[in-house]
Amino acid sequence: MQEIFEAMDRYKDKILRRAEYLMSLRTDERVVEFIDVDSVKVPYSNKILTLDAVLSEIEKDEVYELA
């Protein structure tokens, strides 16, 4: 994961844009292979979120922060 992070860190300042980071998590084959499983069980229900659903929720938060 560190190797992937460093590849995304264009300016080598340890700062990434959230949208770029999330897109890399979705598209980098090494990441997908490593974490593409049912990832979160929603409390008090039988629902399990996939990694993509969790990342979508994070992206929604970013849209609210920009408003």
Who has greater pLDDT, 66 or 31?
A: 31
DSSP 48-63: EEEHHHHHHHHHHHHH
Residues 6+ apart with CB under 8 A from 37: 51
- Give the mean pLDDT of 4-18: 85
Please tell me the least confidently modeled range out of 2-6, 13-17, 18-22: 18-22
Q: Which tens digits make up the pLDDT trace of 27-65? A: 888 877 776 666 667 778 888 777 777 778 777 766 555
pLDDT-based confidence at residue 13 (cuts at 50, 70, 90): very high
What's the confidence (pLDDT) of residue 9? 85
